[in-house]
Amino acid sequence: MKKATLFVIALMAVSVMSSSMPAFAAQKDECMLASKNCKDEVDSIQQKIKKLNIEIKKGTKVYSADELKKLHTKLKEVNAQMDQLMKPGK
């Protein structure tokens, strides 16, 4: 009886872990979204653009419409910084 109970518990544990895996694969990047949890994170402009594009591609499966707007706004700001840096000197 004990073996059967342990088997059922183990089976339930595996079931719970496997069903939660997709949630781990598509998580919000709080640092990109709201500058939270980003200690020790220093990215170049190109890296920021790449990361923002990756987060935006996750779409509404991960982010709300408002959060996606924020990410798009940040992407526009970073692209504007890049454009400013690429202008020839005066």
Give 43-57 pLDDT, tens digit per residue: 888 999 999 999 999
Q: Determine the Cα–Cα distance for residues 55 and 78; give it in Å rounded to an integer.
A: 14
Q: Give tens-digit pLDDT for 16-29.
A: 555 444 545 578 88
Q: How far apart are CA 50 and CA 14, in angstroms?
A: 35
Gap between the Cα atoms of 2 and 44, Å rounded: 57
For residue 12, count other CB atoms closer than 10 A to its CB: 10
**pTM, entire model:** 0.63
